[in-house]
Structure formats: C-alpha cells, structure tokens
Amino acid sequence: MLIGYARVSTQDQNLNLQNDALLKAGCEKIFEDKVSGARIERKGLTEALDYVRSGDVLVVWKLDRLGRGLRDLIDKMQDLEKRGVGFKSLTENIDTTTAGGKLIFHIFGSLAEFERNLIRERTVAGLSSARARGIKGGRKNKLTAEQIELMKKMYKDKTIPIKQILDTFKISKSSLYKWVK
C-alpha cells in the first residue's frame, strides 16, 4: 500500500500541489502537517510512521518534506528499512523499493557520516590548538583572582556567615565550596 505524507511550513500555505501529486502516484491514504520542518513534533508524520507496515511504501512529494536535515532523513530511512517499509520521493525520483534507489540512499548516508566525521575532527583539532595556546574552554570565571582570594579569606574567618559571603559575591553555595576546596 502506498501511504503519502505532505507538509507545508505555514498555515497560510496549502497542500493541494503535494496532495494532487501523491494521489496521482497512487497513495491510498495521506497524512498531513502544516508546521515547520524544523519542529521536532509533527503529528501527521508521527501518525504516518506509526501507520505504515512492512510491505508499505511511504511516499513524499520532496525529500525535504520528511526530514529536518540529512541526518534526520537518514535516521528515518534506516528505521523504515528495518521495518520493511519502502520509501519514494516523487520530485527526486528516489525509490528504495528498487536497487538503484537503495544505492542512492546509501550514498546519501555515507556522505552524511563523512560530514559528521569531518566536523568531529575539526572540533578536536580546534580544541587541541586552543589548549596549546593556553586557552581553556568553558565559561569564564565570574570572579577575578583577587575576588577569589578575598572570598577564601572571608570563608576562613569563621565570624563571617556563609550567607554574607554568597550575597557579597553574588554566587551560589556550590560555587563557594568549589573555590574554597
């Protein structure tokens, strides 16, 4: 059974073009969303993914209707494949029920993984380079070195209440104990 999914980004747009194409392709049931693709929660897509069964084919007008990005699209495709559900994109002419369609999609998956690995390598290299120059990552300290020394002296003076130290430096109790240890 061919199951369609159509999505537009705003309430002002209409689904007619996509629905007509999905009906022409032979979809027996069509699920719809009028919400940005960037949103994680898409009720129509969730219903479509819950509805399809092994042997069904999920059909979209365009690839970008299904996934929020390449990684999200690949993840959805892998889930469909595990469940024995095919996928068709009418505009890009991708059909994972054919050997050629599967090949194209696996190439997309390989490119997405390659991109993730490049990003990871660049991040690690950038952090190493920064450390070599003496730059520490993370948030900047709220207090200067002088303020930290004064805070430690105040803490050692048992006559000064903890609350007064916290209020003076506008810090939390956990921050105080982090600095005095």
- Among 9, 89, 128, 172, the active-site one is 9
**Residue 9 falls in the annotated catalytic set:** yes
CB crowding 35-47: b at 16 or more within 10 Å, else e: bebeeeebebbee
Task: In whole angstroms, give the CA distance from residue 51 to residue 47.
Answer: 6
Nearest to 34 by CA among 59, 52, 16: 16
Phi, psi torsion values for 8, nearest 5 degrees = -120, 155
Phi, psi of 95 (to 5 degrees): -140, 105
Give the CA diameter of the chain.
83
Output the DSSP codes for 131-163: HHTTPPPSPPPSS-HHHHHHHHHHHHSTTS-HH
Residue 33 in 3-state DSSP? strand
Please identify which residue in the block is written with the tokens 């005095």.
180
Classify residue 153 as exposed, middle or buried by CB count within 10 Å of its CB (0-12, 13-18, 19+). exposed
| Residues with catalytic function | 9
